[in-house]
Amino acid sequence: MNKVMLLLLVAMLTACGKSESTDTVEALATNPERLKELRQQCKTERAKLGDELCNRVAEVTNQRFFGDGKTPYTPSKEQPKF
C-alpha cells in the first residue's frame, strides 16, 4: 500500500511541469517591446493569456501614461473660454 501511495505521489509531482514564468509589472515597465507585444495579444486573445497578465499589462500602460503621480497640478492662470 505504501509503495502504491509513493508511486502515485511521484507520478503527480512529475506531471506538474515547470510553470511558465509570468512577467512582473517592473519587468514589463523596463521592456517596452515586450509590453507592446503583450498589449496587442491582450487585445486579440485575452482568454488565452489570462486576466492576470492582461491586468498587469494595463497597470504598466497606465503607469507609463500617467507617470509617477508626483507632478503637481498647475492650471493655467487664464480662465477657459467656452
- Give the cell for residue 35: 509590453
Classify residue 75: in a domain, yes or no: no
| Each residue's pLDDT tens digit, 32-65 | 999 999 999 999 999 998 999 999 999 999 998 8
Helices of type H across 1-82: 2-15, 25-30, 32-44, 46-49, 51-66
Number of structural domains found in the chain? 1
Classify residue 32: in a domain, yes or no: yes
pLDDT at 21 over 80: no
Classify residue 46: in a domain, yes or no: yes
Classify residue 49: in a domain, yes or no: yes
- Give the cell for residue 27: 519587468
Find the domain containing 46 and state its range: 23-66
- Give the cell for residue 17: 511541469
Classify residue 81: in a domain, yes or no: no
Classify residue 18: in a domain, yes or no: no
pLDDT at 19 over 90: no
Name which of 6-10, 16-20, 38-42 the model is least confident about.
16-20
Q: pTM of the full predicted structure?
A: 0.59
